C-alpha cells in the first residue's frame, strides 16, 4: 500500500506549522520502522505551486490513499473535512505574496468534491485513542482547501477511487491567557494521524 501524506510549510504568523512537524515525524518513524507504505511530502503554502505539486505527486505515485494535512490554528480539535470547494477566497497573501479573492480553482469543474476518506471510522479511532476530533463541513478557502480540491480533482480525472481528503490539525499546544491550554500537544496529533492511517491500512 502507498499512502501519500502531505503537510505545509510555515506561513504568515504561523511560524511553526503543526502539519509539517507531524509529517516529518511520521516520515522519521516510518524510516526507523522500515515501513515503505508512507510517502511524506511538504507542500509550499502557495496556491499555484502547492496545487501543481499535489497533482504531480498523485500522477507519479498513483497512491492507494491521499491524506493532506493542514493547520487551523484557531481550532482546538482534529477536524476531518467533508467538502473541498472550487474556490480560492482569502485576503491574506500566500507565501508567494499572491492574494486570491473569489476565484475558481479549476474552471468548468464541479463546485465541490466530497472527501473519499472514511471519516466516521477515523473519528471513532481517534475517540478510542482519547483524542478530541470532529467532522467539519468547511475546509476554508485558503491553500489547504486549494490542495484538497486539486487532489480530489486529480483523482477524479485519473478515475482513481482511492481514499483522498484533508485533515485539519490545530496549532501545537501552548498556554494562553489565564494559563488556558490552546491547541494540542504534537505527540497527541501524531497519534491522531497514525490512528487515521491505520484505518486506511485496515488495522
pLDDT tens-place string over residues 135-146: 999 999 999 999
Q: Which domain holds residue 42?
A: 3-201
pTM of the model: 0.94
- 190: cell is 501524531
Q: Is the pLDDT of residue 182 over 80?
A: no
Whether residue 113 contacts residue 152, with contact meaning beta carbons closer than 8 Å, is answered with yes
CATH of the domain at 193: 3.40.630.20
Question: How far is Cα 12 from Cα 110, in angstroms, rounded to an integer?
Answer: 30
CA angle 134, 139, 143 (to 5 degrees): 140
Q: How many CB atoms lie within 10 A of CB 52?
A: 14
pLDDT digit string, tens, across residues 102-161: 999 999 999 999 999 999 999 999 999 999 999 999 999 999 999 999 999 999 999 999
Q: How confident is the model at residue 181 (pLDDT cuts 50, 70, 90)?
A: low
From 81, 90, 154, 194, the catalytic residue: 81
From 46, 68, 90, 144, the catalytic residue: 144
The domain total for the chain is 1
| Backbone dihedral angles phi then psi of residue 71, each to the nearest 5 degrees | -105, 135
Amino acid at each position: 500500500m502507498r499512502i501519500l501524506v502531505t503537510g505545509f510549510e510555515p506561513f504568515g504568523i504561523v511560524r511553526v506549522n503543526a502539519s509539517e512537524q507531524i509529517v516529518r515525524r511520521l516520515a522519521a518513524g516510518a524510516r526507523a520502522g522500515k515501513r515503505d507504505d508512507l510517502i511524506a511530502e511538504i507542500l509550499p503554502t502557495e496556491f499555484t505551486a502547492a496545487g501543481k505539486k499535489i497533482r504531480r505527486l498523485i500522477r507519479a505515485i498513483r497512491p492507494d490513499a491521499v491524506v493532506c494535512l493542514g493547520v487551523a490554528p484557531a481550532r482546538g480539535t482534529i477536524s476531518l473535512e467533508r467538502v473541498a470547494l472550487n474556490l480560492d477566497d482569502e485576503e491574506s497573501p500566500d507565501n508567494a505574496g499572491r492574494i486570491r479573492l473569489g476565484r475558481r480553482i479549476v474552471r468548468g469543474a464541479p463546485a465541490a468534491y466530497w472527501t473519499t476518506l472514511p471519516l466516521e471510522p477515523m473519528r471513532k479511532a481517534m475517540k478510542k485513542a482519547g483524542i478530541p476530533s470532529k467532522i467539519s463541513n468547511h475546509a476554508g478557502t485558503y491553500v489547504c482547501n486549494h490542495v484538497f480540491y486539486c487532489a480530489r480533482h486529480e483523482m477524479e480525472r485519473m478515475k482513481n477511487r482511492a481514499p483522498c481528503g484533508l485533515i485539519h490539525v490545530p496549532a501545537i499546544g501552548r498556554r494562553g491567557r489565564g494559563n488556558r491550554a490552546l491547541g494540542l500537544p504534537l505527540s497527541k496529533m501524531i497519534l491522531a494521524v497514525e490512528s487515521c492511517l491505520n484505518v486506511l491500512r485496515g488495522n
